[in-house]
């Protein structure tokens, strides 16, 4: 990510903070996550999205109307699923977002099992979205067969690596390829080896997240998270490994952000409460495949459904229902280690930004 993009990001956050301080204005979120499909070709042990195909997903035409209605820029847009590359039109949806809401960063999460499709579409996106930084994050939760077992499908790891190396061979200056590992009950006993293995692949960035019980994963009653001690030990191992690594370009920035994130995760898990104010529903939001807008992936209560509001994002964003949910978030005691709300919550803290 170039210095110019960082300056633009910084300015955008300052403007957001200023507008938010004016109580009568409710600025657009800084970060919007779009789950474009629930459909998935894997059956991961820590996520049940694949069991819940959305009966009617937002179409390309509907996304066009939604992006047109936003009439403003959103700093960071994430596309996830299910597996987003199972949608034939994923590249068209991303390009529409680029054209209408001009994000500085586009982040796409994938399981990496569709090498030809992913490499082809990402290459097109890097060319069609020259003024944004595109990050493709591939999930790897184990080494070889262990990854297959956790992700519920045999023989996938070879395809994941084919995707990873294919993407790494694309040399676009606005493209970064990262690896994501979710620590869960199913891999925590091997986490030191997994971290070493993933870092040995030399990703542009490497992120570790803790499996959580969340409404968005339909796994609220599943025992997926490792014990507190295991989480803390895993994060310590990662932090030690990361200290020895030198990342380039975008990875350098992610690494700095992540250092703070891991400290935040440890404190949150230890104290079992929020340790920074949460701006979910104010600085960040999620759009689900059925058109529901959620403040975050944990609280199930929708701020509204965009299909019932004429595809008008602002009508929902400025509604009384959304204001009520924002107030509830301020007064309630929920806490989580979800990474997207964390980034925006943290970004809205000027002392942290200045570090
Ligand atoms: S603390 Fe977590 S669960 Fe609670 S509103 Fe914020 S993002 Fe959602």
The reported pLDDT for the residue numbered 310 is 97
Find out whether the beta carbon of 278 lies less than 6 Å from any atom of ligand 1.
yes
- How much distance in Å is there from the Cα of 273 to the middle of ligand 1? 10
What does the alpha-carbon distance between residue 10 and residue 13 come to, in Å, rounded to a whole number? 5
Which residue in 103, 117, 134, 113 sits closest to 32, CA to CA? 103
Ligand 1 mean position, distance from CA 274 (Å): 8
Q: Which residue from 217, 301, 335 has its CB within 8 A of the most atoms of ligand 1, so it is best to mutate?
A: 335
Q: Tell me, what's the pLDDT at 45?
A: 93
Ligand 1 binding pocket includes 341 (Cβ within 6 Å): yes
Q: What is the pLDDT of residue 215?
A: 83
Identify the pLDDT of residue 229: 95
**Contact (Cβ atoms closer than 8 angstroms) between residue 113 and residue 139:** no
Whole-number CA gyration radius for the chain: 19
Q: What is the CATH number of the domain that holds 178?
A: 3.20.20.70
Binding site membership of 9 for ligand 1 (Cβ less than 6 Å): no
For each successive 10 residues of the chain (355 residues), what is the average pLDDT? Answer: 64 70 76 96 92 88 97 92 96 97 95 98 98 96 95 94 98 94 96 96 92 87 92 92 74 72 89 89 94 91 95 96 92 86 76 57
Pocket test for ligand 1, best of 29, 293, 327, 338 (most atoms within 8 A of CB): 338
Q: State the pLDDT at residue 259.
A: 75
Residues spanned by the domain of 45: 2-354
Per DSSP, the residues of 185-207 read TTTGGGHHHHHHHHHHT--SEEE
Q: pTM of the full predicted structure? A: 0.91
Atom number, ligand 1, closest to the C-alpha of residue 281: 5
Alpha-carbon span 117 to 123, nearest angstrom: 10
Question: Ligand 1 centroid vs 338 CA: distance in angstroms?
Answer: 8
Q: What pLDDT sits at residue 289?
A: 95
Atom of ligand 1 nearest to the CA of 278: 6
Say yes or no: CB of residue 329 within 6 Å of ligand 1: yes
Give the per-residue pLDDT at 143: 96
Say how many domains are in the chain.
1
Query: What's the confidence (pLDDT) of residue 27?
Result: 84
């Amino acid at each position: 990510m170039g210095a110019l993009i960082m300056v633009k990001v910084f300015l955008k956050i300052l403007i957001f903070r200023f507008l938010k301080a004016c109580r009568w204005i409710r600025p657009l979120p800084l970060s919007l996550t779009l789950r474009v499909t629930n459909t998935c070709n894997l059956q991961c042990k820590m996520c049940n999205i694949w069991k819940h195909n959305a009966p009617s997903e937002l179409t390309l035409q509907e996304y066009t109307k939604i992006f047109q209605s936003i009439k403003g820029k959103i700093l960071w847009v994430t596309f996830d699923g299910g597996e987003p590359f199972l949608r034939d039109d994923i590249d068209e949806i991303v390009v529409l977002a680029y054209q209408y809401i001009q994000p500085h960063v586009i982040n796409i999460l994938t399981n990496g099992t569709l090498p030809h499709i992913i490499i082809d579409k990402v290459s097109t996106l890097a060319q069609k979205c020259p003024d944004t930084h595109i990050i493709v994050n591939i999930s790897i939760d184990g080494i070889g067969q262990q990854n297959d077992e956790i992700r519920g499908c045999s023989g996938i790891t070879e395809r994941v690596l084919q995707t990873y190396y294919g993407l790494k061979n694309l040399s676009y200056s606005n493209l970064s390829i990262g690896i994501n590992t979710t620590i869960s009950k199913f891999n925590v006993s091997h986490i030191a080896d997994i971290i070493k293995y993933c870092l040995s692949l030399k990703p542009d960035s490497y992120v570790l997240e803790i499996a959580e019980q969340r409404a968005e994963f339909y796994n609220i009653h599943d025992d997926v998270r490792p014990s507190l001690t295991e989480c803390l030990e895993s994060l310590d191992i990662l932090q030690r490994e990361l200290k020895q690594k030198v990342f380039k370009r975008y990875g350098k920035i992610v690494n700095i952000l992540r250092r703070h994130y891991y400290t935040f995760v440890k404190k949150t898990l230890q104290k079992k409460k929020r340790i920074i104010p949460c701006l979910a529903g104010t600085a960040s939001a999620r759009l689900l495949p059925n058109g529901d807008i959620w403040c975050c992936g944990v609280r199930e209560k929708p701020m509204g459904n965009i299909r019932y509001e004429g595809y008008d994002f602002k009508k929902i964003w400025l509604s009384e229902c959304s204001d009520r949910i924002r107030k509830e978030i301020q007064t309630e005691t929920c806490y989580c280690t979800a990474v997207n709300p964390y980034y925006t919550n943290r970004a809205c803290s000027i002392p942290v930004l200045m570090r």
